[in-house]
């Protein structure tokens, strides 16, 4: 009996890849496919997209996974199609139809309904979600026909714009805080219009400062002769933070975890306190907290790779 050939060892890959997730694929399945294509040892995504949704799915590799939490916390922007007059069990096209109603709405009525959901709102999470109760995902209860009470949670709809209306469909653009369910927003808009609704399409187009500009499909990634060349550097996740460049001496102390007093050093310090990205000789060292009196406290450090 022939022995199986040994598996190819995984590579130490650092960076960020912006994938255009196709419809019908879970975020985790997309991650597994991409991790295999680039042969990465360590990878993670930055928050899931529903299988029926498409669009921007940032995937982090190696040292970039240290900063993936920042994208979980970031605002997201979506383009959504709301199908008025039909409600479903899941709030999207994957569920069973619950009710069908006639649709007779004007643009003015739609604009008035949208205005009700701009700014801070309370939103009840859907049963078909990955939120857990007693260690079990809500969607598992839902599939068993069990509906649990869910407490409304505060979220913020920063922008809500009507892109087009062609009844029974509304095209909307939504910029929202973390934890927002656009499916629920679509249902709530339908309820406000008195006809009910579900989402027939959902596409994510921005996560924090990351946009679709350098996004690639799985097919493009698979066909590329050098998939690693498509990765953005680790600091693509940190572009919104002020930058501090250290001298070689300060670099050593910083990487040893020491707090640095920058007030008397030959270092330009940004005026605002808070989180910063730290470099030396053009190389990202990690993130830190800039405190009062120009004290720089290391936060998350990048491991140096051997050349």
Q: How far is CA 146 from CA 50, 88, 94, 142, 143, in A?
A: 21, 16, 18, 5, 7
By the 10 Å C-beta count (0-12 exposed, 13-18 middle, 19+ buried), 175 is classed as middle
Q: Token match 């006639």: residue?
A: 102
Selected catalytic residue, list 20, 50, 70, 188: 50
CB 143 within 8 A of CB 94: no
Active site residue 92: no
Distance CA 32, CA 218 (A): 11
CA angle, 164 as apex, 160 and 166 as ends, to 5°? 130
Q: Token match 């069973």: residue?
A: 96
Residue 135's region, left for phi above 0, alpha for psi from -120 to 50, else beta, is left
Distance CA 119, CA 155 (A): 8
Active site residues: 50
């Amino acid at each position: 009996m022939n022995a199986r050939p040994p598996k190819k060892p995984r590579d130490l890959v650092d960076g960020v890849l912006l994938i255009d997730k196709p419809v019908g694929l879970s975020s985790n399945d997309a991650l597994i496919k991409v991790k295999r294509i680039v042969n990465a040892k360590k990878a993670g995504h930055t928050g899931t997209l529903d299988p029926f949704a498409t669009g921007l799915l940032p995937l982090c590799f190696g040292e970039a996974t240290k900063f993936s939490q920042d994208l979980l916390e970031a605002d997201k922007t979506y383009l959504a199609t709301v199908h008025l007059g039909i409600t479903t069990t899941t709030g999207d096209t994957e569920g069973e139809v619950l009710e069908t109603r006639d649709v007779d709405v004007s643009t003015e009525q739609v604009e008035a309904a949208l205005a009700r959901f701009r700014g801070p709102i309370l939103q009840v999470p859907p049963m078909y979600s990955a939120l857990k109760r007693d260690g079990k995902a809500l969607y598992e209860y839902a599939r068993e026909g069990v509906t649990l009470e869910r407490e409304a949670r505060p979220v913020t709809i920063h922008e809500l714009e009507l892109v087009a209306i062609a009844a029974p469909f509304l095209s909307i653009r939504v910029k929202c805080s973390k934890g927002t369910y656009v499916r629920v927003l679509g249902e709530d808009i339908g309820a406000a219009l008195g006809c009910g609704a579900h989402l027939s399409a959902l596409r994510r187009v921005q996560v924090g400062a990351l946009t679709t500009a350098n996004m690639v499909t799985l097919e493009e990634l698979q066909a590329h002769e050098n998939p690693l060349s498509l990765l953005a550097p680790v600091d693509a996740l940190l572009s919104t933070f002020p930058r501090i460049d250290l001298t070689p001496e300060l670099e050593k102390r910083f990487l040893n975890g020491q707090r640095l007093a920058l007030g008397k050093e030959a270092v330009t310090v940004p005026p605002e306190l808070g989180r910063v990205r730290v470099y030396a000789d053009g190389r990202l060292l990690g993130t830190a907290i800039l405190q009062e009196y120009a004290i720089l406290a290391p936060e998350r450090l990048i491991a140096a790779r051997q050349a």
